Amino acid sequence: MAQSEEARIRQRAEDILAVLQQRKPAEDVFTPDFVTAITPAQLRVFAEQMEAGAGRLQAVERAEADGGPGAAKIVLRFEKALGNGMFQLESQAPYRVAGFRITEFTPQNDSLVAVTAELHALPGDVGVYFGPMNGGRPLLAIQDKQPFAVGSTFKLYVLSALVRSIAEGRHRWDEVVPLDHKSLPSGMIQDWPDGAPMTLHTLATLMISISDNSATDQLIHLLGREAVEAEVARSGSAHAAANRPFMTTRDMFALKAGSDGRLAAYGAAGEAERRGMLAKIADEPLSTDAIERAFANGPRALNVEWFASARDVAAIFGQLIDQNDATALAILAVNPGMTPLPGDRWNYIGYKGGSEPGVLNLSWLLRDKGGAWWTLSASWNNPAAGLDQPVFEQLARRLMLLQNGAADGAR
């Protein structure tokens, strides 16, 4: 007897579950075209990413026909959420899966109390702000006004300073400059030829999307250190003084790869003395090996960093919104910071994060379907040990899932 469409859909839903749980080969369930486009290894990563945010994948909650021939809805049950999505069967036997995606997660068996308790239990210090940008009551605030080392999240200030310079007519997005200020990774253009022509749009996109340090330093030199410092102050940061002088990434690498004595002296120095020290080390040779040796024993001098509270990050996001530059907002959205995205509550997700041993920041600029802007900024510092980034990312994802998409009004 021929299998009914309902039975086929249910069976293939169970097969999808088996693939995601690595109990069945993807080639037995998905079409050759699907497996070519999304390899078994990529499916494994997809499953791991979903479980990082929603807990262990447990079962198929529901599978049913959805409109056209072979089209189906699927709901996967995870430990802390339901994953809602769709799949498409091919039109003839063996009715393999030709398309599959999860589009939204709905929290289950999770709570703000549970996430908050897990954040407080992390070793070291944690600061979080998750709330609307209009001054409404936050969903969560933990040490949200305390300054933290934030790593490359400082690049938001560079982006804002660049946007201001373009708005004032001093620069253009399509302006081309030679690549003549290189740093060390993260990034890729440190390996490009000296003098390579770069548009400001390309530099900014690399700086934000892959945290390219050389692109960042190129922009800081173009704009001027003082212009970025002014942007920090203009944003309303309560900790602008802690970022003067505003270090390039090369400055930070040179300091941390240098002697313990010089690093300690910089950390204890005032602003004027620090400016003099940075001028002296500007041309020091750098090497990746030296940086690896510097961090071989874990976190190093977290008092020599870039600093912001969760509220400060919200403020610079607010400044970028107010500048109303579509190009800058598009650049922020190139890398959303997590895959798959946490449901369809947000119609815009911008992201910048930062890290070094003992330092982690994850910051999102979000706009819900009602047009209200939100921000989630979470920092974790521990001068005594390295940090478990996947654990922190999972907590951030759970926070986004717990937010119901409502806001007290748009900014």
Query: For residue 404, what pLDDT is reported?
Result: 52
Phi, psi of 259 (to 5 degrees): -70, 155
Last residue of one domain, picked from the residues 81, 107, 133: 107
181 with 321, same domain: the answer is yes
Last residue of one domain, picked from the residues 90, 107, 124: 107
Residues in contact with 22: Cβ distance below 8 Å, sequence separation at least 6, in sequence order: 44, 47
81 with 139, same domain: the answer is no
24 with 47, same domain: the answer is yes
Mean per-residue pLDDT of the chain: 94
319 with 210, same domain: the answer is yes
Residue 254 lies in a domain: no
Query: For residue 264, what pLDDT is reported?
Result: 98
Tens digit of pLDDT for each residue in 376-408? 999 999 999 999 998 899 899 889 888 753 333
* Residue 334 DSSP symbol: S
pLDDT beyond 50 at 1: no
116 with 236, same domain: the answer is yes
Query: For residue 403, what pLDDT is reported?
Result: 79
55 with 93, same domain: the answer is yes
Last residue of one domain, picked from the residues 84, 107, 130: 107
Residue 170 lies in a domain: yes
37 with 132, same domain: the answer is no
101 with 117, same domain: the answer is no
Query: For residue 408, what pLDDT is reported?
Result: 35
Token pair listed for 186:
């993260």
Residue 284 lies in a domain: no
> pTM of the entire structure?
0.83
CATH number at residue 14: 3.10.450
Question: What is the extent of the structural domain holding 45?
Answer: 5-107
Query: For residue 407, what pLDDT is reported?
Result: 36
Query: For residue 342, what pLDDT is reported?
Result: 59
| Across 272-278, average pLDDT | 98
According to DSSP, the β-strands at 346-356 and 359-368 are antiparallel
230 with 369, same domain: the answer is yes
Residue 118 lies in a domain: yes
**Cβ of 297: how many Cβ atoms within 10 Å?**
8
The interaxial angle of helices 155-167 and 200-209, nearest 10 deg, is 160
| Across 149-165, average pLDDT | 99
| Across 30-36, average pLDDT | 97
90 with 236, same domain: the answer is no
Residue 177 lies in a domain: yes
> Residue 180 and residue 261: Cα distance in Å, rounded?
30
99 with 17, same domain: the answer is yes
Phi, psi of 275 (to 5 degrees): -60, -40
Q: Between 107 and 192, whose confidence is greater?
A: 192
| Total number of domains in the chain | 2
Tens digit of pLDDT for each residue in 203-254? 999 999 999 999 999 999 999 999 999 999 999 999 999 999 999 999 999 9
CATH number at residue 197: 3.40.710.10
95 with 228, same domain: the answer is no
- Neighbour-count burial of 289, counting CB atoms closer than 10 A to its CB (0-12 exposed, 13-18 middle, 19+ buried): exposed
pLDDT beyond 80 at 197: yes
